[in-house]
Chain A
Amino acid sequence: DAGITQSPRYKITETGRQVTLMCHQTWSHSYMFWYRQDLGHGLRLIYYSAAADITDKGEVPDGYVVSRSKTENFPLTLESATRSQTSVYFCASSPPNSPLHFGNGTRLTVT
Chain B
Amino acid sequence: ILNVEQSPQSLHVQEGDSTNFTCSFPSSNFYALHWYRWETAKSPEALFVMTLNGDEKKKGRISATLNTKEGYSYLYIKGSQPEDSATYLCAFFAKRANNLFFGTGTRLTVIP
State which of A20-28, A63-71, A74-82, A95-103 sits at the interface with chain B: A95-103
B105 contacts A100, CB within 8 Å? no
- The answer to whether A48 and B89 touch (CB under 8 A), given A59-B1, A102-B44, is no
List residues 1-51 of chain B with CB under 8 A from any CB of chain A. Answer: 1, 32, 34, 36, 42-46, 49, 51
- CA A31 – CA B91 in complex, angstroms? 16
Main secondary structure of the interface of A (DSSP, over half): strand
Interface contacts (Cβ under 8 Å), in number, total 51
Residues of A within 8 A of B89 (CB): 42-43
A41 contacts B104, CB within 8 Å? yes
A100 contacts B98, CB within 8 Å? no
- Footprint of B on A, CB under 8 Å? 31, 33, 35, 40-45, 48, 50, 56, 58-59, 90, 97-105
- Footprint of A on B, CB under 8 Å? 1, 32, 34, 36, 42-46, 49, 51, 89, 91, 98-105
Apart from A48-B98, A90-B43, A105-B43, list 18 A-B contacts with CB within 8 A.
Answer: A31-B98, A33-B100, A41-B104, A42-B105, A43-B44, A44-B102, A45-B99, A45-B102, A58-B99, A59-B101, A99-B36, A99-B49, A100-B44, A100-B46, A100-B91, A101-B46, A102-B45, A104-B43
Can you list 21 A-B contacts with CB-CB less than 8 angstroms, sorted by A residue number?
A35-B102, A40-B104, A42-B89, A42-B105, A43-B89, A43-B102, A44-B102, A45-B99, A45-B100, A45-B102, A56-B98, A56-B99, A98-B49, A99-B34, A99-B46, A100-B36, A100-B46, A100-B91, A102-B44, A102-B45, A103-B43
